[in-house]
Amino acid sequence: MKNFIAAELAGQEQNVSTAFSKQSSSFDEVDAGNEILQWMRTRVRENVLKFWHKGEHILELNAGTGIDAIYFAQKGYYVHATDNAPGMLGILEKKVCEHRLQDKITTQNCSFLELKNIKEQKFDHIFSNFGGLNCTPKLEEVIKSFSPLLKPCGTITLVLMPPICPWEMLYALKGNFKLAFRRFKRNGTPSYLEGVRFTTWYYKLEDVIKMLGDDYEVLNVRGLGIIVPPPFLGNFVQKHRALFKKLISIEDSIATKAPYYSWADHFMITAMKIK
């Protein structure tokens, strides 16, 4: 991966922030209307709830409009929800007031590259859902910044997009090599959201495990969207509901097994701080 100079990184951060701020007003509607995304979210939540206990404090990175923050706060967790897109945070803060969750959710405009700015407390768990961390080429740096924020035996759960996504690769059969192999670009893949261009980096599970190093013990790994189609094929469900259910049941039976968990639209890794 090429070295990024500070100005390039700042430009990337700004573009991502602008793009997601622009998308913020339609984000929740798109999310709620996509049954594949809803299914993936359910699996992520079921997984973290195996490790979290009511009343614990969660640091959420790239929290977006707070779809998960609200859910977990309503379940009795304290969430410090961070993001660097003011538009996303604006929606989140409005929802916190509407749901009267001011005692459970705090917010901070903070890039995950600036976690040293979170000074107040240590957390039981750190959580990043749905590929926010794919927006940085500095994942290792971000992971290294977790330790001072985590209590002993605290966990991190990261949901990231890997390079191999079987459904996208099937597009090679239709001659769409651009989509089929878009995740393989060494220096990141150009992405466009709301007319704003930024770069997305796809991370291999084994590289993330290396980044965690000896400071963490991996507790579990699962793929999301191995044989279930990726969320951009959301209308697959309306057309093939019975098949969708069948694919879910097959995927659930293989999703925690190698090598399937790393051949997916997203993978989710949970690890515990041991040093």
Ligand X SMILES: C[S@@+](CC[C@H](N)C(=O)[O-])C[C@H]1O[C@@H](n2cnc3c(N)ncnc32)[C@H](O)[C@@H]1O
Residues within the interface to ligand X (CB under 6 A): 13, 16, 20, 62-64, 67-68, 83-85, 88, 111-113, 129-132, 135-136
Q: Which is nearer to ligand X, 190 or 259 (CB)?
A: 190
- Cα-to-chain-centroid distance, residue 146: 16
Kindly state the smallest distance separating residue 242's Cβ from ligand X, in Å: 28
In whole angstroms, what is the distance from residue 147 CA to residue 105 CA? 22
The number of beta carbons lying within 10 Å of the beta carbon of residue 66 is 27
Cβ contacts of 64 within 8 Å, gap of 6 or more: 20, 24, 27, 83, 85, 88, 92, 130, 132
Q: Which is nearer to ligand X, 193 or 254 (CB)?
A: 193
Q: Which residue is nearest to ligand X (CB)?
A: 64
CA atoms within 13 Å, Cβ hemisphere of 220: 12
- State both tokens at 248: 């879910």
φ and ψ at residue 218, rounded to 5 degrees: -70, 125
Q: Which is nearer to ligand X, 5 or 242 (CB)?
A: 5
- Mode of pairing for the β-strands spanning 57-61 and 216-224: unpaired
Kindly state the smallest distance separating residue 143's Cβ from ligand X, in Å: 14
Q: Which is nearer to ligand X, 57 or 175 (CB)?
A: 57
Q: Which is nearer to ligand X, 62 or 262 (CB)?
A: 62
- State both tokens at 154: 């605290």
Q: Which is nearer to ligand X, 111 or 157 (CB)?
A: 111
Kindly state the smallest distance separating residue 92's Cβ from ligand X, in Å: 9
Kindly state the smallest distance separating residue 122's Cβ from ligand X, in Å: 20
Kindly state the smallest distance separating residue 214's Cβ from ligand X, in Å: 26
Kindly state the smallest distance separating residue 208's Cβ from ligand X, in Å: 17
Exposure string over 132-155, b if 16+ CB within 10 A, otherwise e:
bbbbbbbbbebbebbeebbeeebb
